[in-house]
Structure 1
């Protein structure tokens, strides 16, 4: 491929080649959009992922013609185009190579025919059945028709030797650094796809494709391949820091809105609470035991009888939904309810969808790609559930056409990909099979926003896609199994999800499947006795410790109960340890909610791979079992058994330590305040009560009181704990805790700065206001290693607290 001609205009730079057209445009000085087609003109198809486009003439760039290449440059980013091969390379403003294509060129388009299935209601029999993950409906669809011509696209890179890559979403294999790896990108129970890569070289790549994809960095090459696209369309995003790359991704795909404060508290779930009485009694038990709780979850079959997916309460088990909600709200607890995109015949939800032609070919799953269908789905959810006062959605099974959850043997990875993508393509456009969850989430978000201004949207969803975070979603990792290997893999899965720009991820604390049913490959936990097995109790405690440092803190699963008192009683080690971390989560609420404010207002990420903060330290690139929780905390979960094996078998001779790498700088052990020099690996105390937890020197951590729910004491004193050793800053964020008034400026920030030289903490002037804001707030200032504290009555004006002001 050779470069023939170049045209630079207000919309970007058009490159005419011997094999099609390429186009370069800039969304910001650090974000380049590259498109490529073999057609005579670029596609006019609107993106489902990208919502931000630059104004014409808003970004300045130059085109420089050199003997062998072109240089298209902004103030931050330069793209060099080889005239002989049209190979691209990407450079920062200082002349550092970010990444490049192979010298022969890295873009390949292969024409492909796109077919759609035409269903004949008379000829195509619908078969329905129920598996471990819910109702499934299938129609054969014997008629296939040619719909259009499209492309397979292949985008190749030559990544650098010292480069680490992260992203692609949450997958079950526990891959951290993706170098030398291969990943299939399609939606499935334990796969949540986000087509974003982020590199330690200081750039990110967003592929704007909704089709099935693959990623390779192995013997087959280093590339991203898409199955069905109108053209190649991708973005290169310059950082160089990960937070800057994430900001660029959200610039393109939309900001993450504030979640309500309660959603950062503890969420109790299981499969399943079966009645109004059980829900209320469970919350009451938490209150009677003084165990903090903010939300309880009603899993599947809230609906009447066998009407799977019907969005109404069963009147026999939930006879008075308004009274149920009144009782829960009176105990300051919220209710999340599971809803499904698939509906069994016989209910009025299904009948209404079918009558208006809004069901896909299996005559059970609604067509989320149609706006009218999304509006009807919301209308049904609102009438049947939300109008009664429920607080949050659990949009389960948002990858509605998986087909491999059966049998005793797990299919091979490529076989699973073929089974599942073929099933999705049967009912969905092949170019859109990864985006169902994105559109489903859009309908819930826009519907609730139009119907209600008081409650922020909370949507826990099993599947994900680029841009979905703008709809108030939290993604969980699917129906995982209870064993130590899964626990460890989940850490890398969550970190790679959050590095894509989607900030809210969680998991089933304790795993979904606990027992081992040999006839079903996915039901492969190690603990047939559930909570009666001391081995499972130990695993659950470690999972709970990890969960306390995730964006959503949520227990869930089948086979065995999950409430805290199922794991022992007060005075017993397992129970007391669970209570310790439950209360720690609430103590950290000012810190966590301030991070949520930073997510919404400053495009921050709270669950952070170590490369966010230590990108140039090659020793962190492959660490898959540690992470930063915000700017202060380094978390090192324990992922091996130390006390018991399955069957309550007591383990002998196992030390109660785990290795922890502390990056350069100074660190404090959170539990002892002992100060340690970083840049080395230590053996940290890790008995059952102790999650290895460290605080970075140069941190200010706001801590709240003991509370029973997140917003119990909004005017309570906040402890400002300074971890000295270097200068520090922190922004305390507060708002009304729910509603969207913050979008109109109804919130406050207080900038806090610690000067190491002066040994002084300055609490800055309060900026902003909101309804219910305390006119006066008390802060207690503590400095690690210094006895005493200083109580400050703060009225919004700057206050300086010196070390010598602390009193015992």
Structure 2
């Protein structure tokens, strides 16, 4: 690690360079320029270019519900590379009607109407029903030498979401957030900014939603009514006014369009959804062997072990310590035989030293950032004096990918964990800093500076290059990559986690709101360090954290150096049993979680989502961030306060079933439930089907011979996706969807379930165990594919049917399930699912 002498030397150098190269932002007085009066306009594909007194405004409808806005004061619209947009995005402008009316210019694409005011150049966006989705405030589009901004009215009742990683509640309204990725040491609630800034805003109403992608990666901020309660503003200190507005009837529709614009997350390997264990640091090699043996002997499911920074040789990337990990490739093979995948941390900084191959080869392709005068930028970080790759340069990404591929092939790691990529470096007094604003960047050959955008995209472009490297090393395997920092569009390459959190109850609560917020920003695979990274957890806190963590997309325990042990068995037998129970449940739910994640990618709905997605018309759901949906079937109500043994839960409208007991509950009301230390409330939606596997200790431990399909009596539709869980056969059609339709007709005492299959994938199982929950009395007749079921048994509150063929099921003469005492099967559902 860098010593104090090196850090102080850099501090002195930094002050000298600041005097030479610092970007001087002019002091500007008076109001910013605005477009002014409209003077003329010209039709273009999908829109118009309007000339005003002070600027040219390009308005282009690139989807029926998606408007692209660019403003230039010099009248030109040069092509500028965007890292946010998916390179494969096809604009496909819809047919539009352009009208020159008395008040201005109007564009109508059917799903969205855009009005540009003749007198002021202000924008108004309206939905087909006449609802105003967005209206510029006075001085809406504005600029001067100090930067650019766009200000819109913030309507009463608009809930504010998105913007990436924010350590606060679910509704961001009334706050101001910085757009600048930062390694915030020991962050707490309301700390800002954090590691992962995404300039995408989602405004939600009960009957419409609006999304804004501010495609300006320069240092900026978003004011969500803090300065003026009814105004929202995006601003940046450099760059152009360049943004996209999506308006539609639901947040789901807005998010789907956002992912079409910026790219969908890739399918992850199934093992990525298993349990991950980590700490800073396990060493030497035999400690990992002991850890692996402990997991298997204690029968606690686990798929992945992580290697933090001390596996390296003196913190140098692409190396490993020859004393502590002299047998690293053999170690990884030994772990693989026990069913463990391995993930290694890797930082961007390259040690500046003769004899360091990564430095020498990087120099040969001019891979590293430089000062404006061409001198190499060198700064201290873990390995001491280091240089920083410029990932906006194609040659750098190629060089990095080659080194990643070679490292993976030499070592045998299965995935990589990109850290310190805000990027972070060490500074005197402030502990950590970042690359100075004036450092130059290639920006795909167009030229830029750290301040103008290279900082914002640094982490995502590192992840992009890392992904390319993994694809080269193991072309038959789906890459697994985590990044600490990122920008809009990073979901195309990787997942993330909530950084270096702390072992407190408030951070447990933040785990939920931050995961939800990242999902609403397009990052679907994310989660916290279970138990907390900084500080010391305790038995109750870890028990509650492993419960909620078991229901989040990324499920990993991680902790800091020199903290007490933080494995699932570290807090005594009671907590160990709780961890075993909830991780066991996660592994049984893996087909549901994996299928729901795939559905999320297709439909643009986060895997873990706020409960208002269950019923956007219910105003009571909008402020709730102490419950959440996992997919569309499960509602999770974690316990996030010390000593709590009962809690209130507001259920969305409709019928819900207690997952543990099978008891049916009417929604649209608040219920009070007991929550002993081993119980986290879970509820399943009536009419939904949840696929479950037999309990395994890791993905692929044994072939799945029988699948459990648990359906809850009611009306609903479910979709179940399957593929091999690894590789890319699904891209050639080796997958299948099963579509289920459940229908309950109480007046006829009938429940039916129908299945339709599309796709060529053939799963390993041949037996289906259908579990119908919500059956109070034995039915008069049970039909499978229109014939009497051969093998079935009944015990309140469920009936089980074993079959090898399933196109339809019908129960005749069944009960009306909504009775308060229908909990006699409290232990039945647990034992049937092997949860006890």
Structures share fold, TM-score greater than 0.5? yes
Deviation at 1:451, TM superposition (A): 3.8
Matches of 2:529 and 2:522 in 1, distance apart? Answer: 22
- Over 3 Å counting, the alpha-carbon distance change for 1:317 and 1:678 in structure 2 is same
Pairing 1:376–2:399 present? yes
Task: Name the structure 2 match of 1:522.
Answer: none
* Paired position in structure 2 for 1:776: 766
User: Does the aligned pair in 2 maintain the 1:309–1:339 contact within 8 Å?
Assistant: no
CA-to-partner distance for each residue in 1:756-785, whole Å, 9 max, x for gaps? 227444342322123x63373423232234
SS at match of 1:722: strand
Secondary structure of the corresponding residue to residue 476 of structure 2: coil
Displacement of 1:675: 2.3
Q: Given that residues 436 and 450 in structure 2 are in contact (C-alpha distance below 8 angstroms), is that contact kept between their aligned partners in structure 1?
A: no
SS at match of 1:101: strand
Note the alpha carbon deviations across 1:360-405, whole angstroms, 9 max, x for none: 2125221111121122122222222344321111111111136689
For residue 176 of structure 1, report the CA deviation from its aligned partner. Answer: 1.7
Counterpart pick for 1:553 among 552, 555, 558: 555
Residue 69 of structure 1: CA displacement?
A: 3.0
CA contact (8 A) 1:667 1:694 kept: yes
Relative to structure 1, is the Cα distance of residues 370 and 675 closer, same or farther in structure 2, using a 3 angstrom cutoff? same
Select which of 444, 448, 459 maps to 2:481.
459
Seen in structure 2, the aligned counterparts of structure 1 residues 281 and 365 have a Cα distance that, compared at 3 Å, is same
How far has the Cα of 1:301 moved from its partner? 2.0
Q: Equivalent residues in 2 for 1:550-629 (5 A)?
A: 550-558=552-560, 559-569=563-573, 573-629=574-630
- Where in structure 2 are the equivalents of 1:523-542 lying within 5 Å? 527=536, 536-542=538-544
Matched position secondary structure for 2:623: coil
1:287 maps to 2:282: no
Cα 1:11/1:80, change in 2 over 3 Å: closer
Candidates 151, 169, 172, aligned match of 2:164 = 169
**What is the rounded CA distance, in whole Å, between the counterparts of 1:483 and 1:316 in structure 2?**
36
- Per-residue CA shift, 1:18-66, capped at 9, x if unaligned? 1201111122111111111111211311211112677687421111232
Q: Secondary structure at the match of 1:731?
A: strand
Q: Residue 310 of structure 2: SS of its match in structure 1? A: coil
Structure 2 counterparts to residues 265-280 of structure 1, below 5 A: 265-280=274-289
Q: 1:421 to 1:329 in 2, by over 3 A?
A: closer
**How many Å separate the matches in 1 of 2:68 and 2:333?**
51
Partners of 1:404 and 1:345 in 2: how far apart? Answer: 17
Q: Determine the C-alpha separation between the residues in 1 that align with 2:320 and 2:214.
A: 41
CA distance in 2, matches of 1:208, 1:156: 15
SS in 2 for 1:506: coil
Alignment of 1:671-686 (within 5 A): 671-686=660-675
- State the distance in 1 between where 2:467 and 2:552 align: 23
User: Is the contact between residue 264 and residue 710 of structure 1 (CA under 8 Å) also seen in structure 2?
Assistant: no
Q: CA deviation at 1:239?
A: 2.9
Structure 1: distance between partners of 2:429 and 2:406: 35
* Structure-2 residue corresponding to 1:191: 195
Unaligned runs of 5+ in 1: 113-151, 409-418, 515-526, 531-535, 643-654
1:670 paired with 2:704, answer no
Equivalent residues in 2 for 1:385-400 (5 A)?
385-400=408-423
Alpha-carbon distance, 1:164 to partner: 0.7
User: Residues of 1 paired with 2:411 and 2:662: CA distance?
Assistant: 48
What TM-score, normalized by structure 1, do the two folds share? Answer: 0.84
Query: Does residue 78 of the first structure (1) align with residue 113 of the second (2)?
Result: yes
Matches within 5 A, 1:324-363: 324-346=331-353, 347-360=356-369, 361-362=377-378, 363=386
Q: Matches of 1:303 and 1:254 in 2, distance apart?
A: 34
Gaps of 5+ in 2: 1-35, 184-193, 370-376, 379-385, 441-448, 777-795, 816-827, 829-836
In structure 2, the CA distance between the partners of 1:73 and 1:405, relative to structure 1 (3 Å rule), is farther
SS in 2 for 1:762: strand
Contact 2:365 2:395 in 1 (8 A): no
Alpha-carbon separation, structure 2, partners of 1:741 and 1:374:
27
Aligned mates of 1:763, 1:406 — CA distance in 2: 66
Deviation of 1:801 (Å): 4.0
Query: Following the alignment from structure 2 to structure 1, what is the Cα–Cα distance between the partners of residues 765 and 260?
Result: 35
Match of 1:791 in 2: 801
Structure 1 residue aligned with 2:188:
none
Matched residue SS, 2:125: strand
Pairing partner for 1:802 from 797, 811, 822: 811
Pick aligned residue for 1:297 from 292, 303, 306: 306
SS in 1 for 2:145: strand
2:729 to 723, 741, 749: 741
Asked if the contact 1:752–1:761 (Cα under 8 Å) also holds between the matched residues in 2, the reply is no
Contact 1:402 1:424 in 2 (8 A): no
Distance 1:562 1:329 in 2: 22
CA distance in 2, matches of 1:756, 1:74: 41
* Superposed counterparts of 1:109-124, under 5 Å: 109-112=143-146
Tell me how far apart the structure 2 counterparts of residues 276 and 34 of structure 1 sit (CA, whole Å). 55
Structure 1 residues 628, 678: closer, same or farther in 2, change over 3 A?
same
Give CA-to-partner distance per residue, 1:525-544, whole Å, 9 cap, x none. Answer: xx4xx5xxxxx111111111
Q: Does 1:155 align with 2:150?
A: yes
The equivalent position to 2:545 in structure 1, one of 529, 543, 546, is: 543
For 1:413-562, list aligned pairs within 5 A. 423=436, 425-426=438-439, 428-432=449-453, 433-471=455-493, 473-514=494-535, 527=536, 536-558=538-560, 559-562=563-566
User: Partner of 1:41: helix, strand, or coil?
Assistant: coil
Equivalences, count: 717
Cα shift at 1:804: 6.2
Give, in whole Å, the separation in 2 of the partners of 1:153 and 1:490. 34
3-state SS, counterpart of residue 194 of structure 1 = strand
Instruction: Return the offset for 1:224.
Output: 3.2
- Distance 1:383-1:389 versus aligned 2 partners, 3 A rule: same
Q: Which moved more, 1:363-372 or 1:581-590?
A: 363-372
In 2, Cα distance between equivalents of 1:71 and 1:688: 60
- What are the Cα deviations for residues 265-305 of structure 1, in whole angstroms up to 9, with x where unaligned? 1001111112322112211211112111111111112222x
SS of the residue corresponding to residue 543 of structure 2 reads helix
Q: Do 1:256 and 1:599's aligned partners in 2 also have CA atoms closer than 8 Å?
A: no
- For normalisation by structure 2, the TM-score amounts to 0.82
Q: What are the Cα deviations for residues 90-146 of structure 1, in whole angstroms up to 9, with x where unaligned?
A: 1111111112111x341111235xxxxxxxxxxxxxxxxxxxxxxxxxxxxxxxxxx
Partner of 1:711: 700
**Aligned with 1:106 (options 118, 133, 140):** 140
2:786: which partner in 1?
A: none
- Contact 1:313/1:385 (8 A) holds in 2: no
- Deviation of residue 731 (structure 1)? 1.2
* Deviation of the 1:424 alpha carbon: 5.1
Tell me if the contact between 1:63 and 1:72 (Cα under 8 Å) persists in the aligned partners: yes
Secondary structure at the residue paired with 1:70? strand
Structure 2 equivalent of residue 754 of structure 1? 742
CA 171–111 in structure 1, closer or farther in 2 if over 3 Å, else same: same
Indicate the residue corresponding to 2:86 in structure 1. Answer: 51
CA distance in 1, matches of 2:800, 2:141: 62
TM-fit CA distance, 1:672 = 2.2
Instruction: Name the SS for the 1:565 alignment partner.
Output: coil
Sort the Cα spacing of 1:688 and 1:456 in 2 relative to 1 into closer, same or farther, 3 A: same
Distance (Å, rounded) in 2 between the aligned partners of 1:223 and 1:94: 24
The answer to whether residue 262 in structure 2 is matched with residue 253 in structure 1 is yes
Contact 2:46 2:95 in 1 (8 A): no
